[in-house]
Every structure is written in C-alpha cells, then in structure tokens.
Amino acid sequence: MATDASGVRALLTSLRQGEVLGILPDQDPGKEGGVFAPFFGIAASTMTLVSRLALKTGVPVFLTWAERLPHGRGFMLHLRVLPDVTASTSMEESVTAINRGVEAAVRSLPTQYLWAYKRFKTRPPEEPTLLY
C-alpha cells in the first residue's frame, strides 16, 4: 500500500467498509512522521497514523502480539483492546495510549520483544542523542 495521502485514503476506505488493518505502531517515523510520546519513560518519535485513523473513524484499536511457545510448539496470539487511543482528546494523548499498550505487551514477554532497530533514533531537539 502507498505510504502517501492516497494510501491513507485507502486505509480509511477499508475501515469504513468494516475491514481490519494491521499496522506496526512502534517504529520510529522520523521527525516529520510522528510526535514525541513517552516509551518506557523516554521521549520517542511515535507514528500518528493509527491515532489519526482511530480518531477520525471511531473504530476500536487492538494491540496484537504473538508469544513464541516453548519447544517449538507454535505461537499464542494475544489481543488487547486499547480504548484510550480512540477516547483521547488530543493526538499526544492518543499516541501515548498506544505506547502504554506496547509497553504492557513488552513487559508481559520482555525476552520476546525485538529491540534490533533504533526505536529512539529521532530525538527531541533539546535532548541528547542516545547511544545504542
């Protein structure tokens, strides 16, 4: 799907038709694609796409993650509704609610969260660069 305005319109159309979307909310969108919200107590550039779609349509937002089961027995899927994403009165509150949801999922299975990318790469202008 396109990552420009036409892609966002296509996502809105899908939601309005009752379809389900899957979006990875914990990627650093850079300086232009997000707002800063706390993630484990550190200001993280957080994408606004999920919040913009939820606030515009009122659709519920669910956080889903897979738990690897021991001994190669497969996966257990977890699903948690995040009502504060849609009920928020501002974009900052909404993206903070998403980050809180991701934090809770990470805390439930910290050894299974993939930290291989630089989540805190984009920093607020007044804060120092973080070393990885």
- Position 3 scores a pLDDT of 64
Instruction: Reduce the DSSP state of residue 24 to 3 states and report it.
Output: coil
DSSP 106-127: HHHSGGGS---S-TT-S--TTS
What's the first-to-final CA gap in the chain, in angstroms? 31
- Position 73 scores a pLDDT of 97
Q: Mark residue 33 as left, alpha or beta (left: phi above 0; alpha: psi -120 to 50; beta: remaining).
A: alpha
Residues 76-96: tens digit of each pLDDT = 999 999 999 999 999 999 999
Q: What are the sequence ranges of the domains in the chain?
A: 5-112
Cα distances from 21 to residues 1, 51, 54, in angstroms, run 12, 13, 11
DSSP 69: P
CB 70 within 8 A of CB 77: no
Residues 9-59: tens digit of each pLDDT = 999 999 999 999 999 888 889 878 899 999 999 999 999 999 999 999 999
Cβ–Cβ contacts within 10 Å for residue 57, how many?
13
> What does the block give as tokens for 50?
């999920």
> What does the block give as tokens for 70?
């021991």
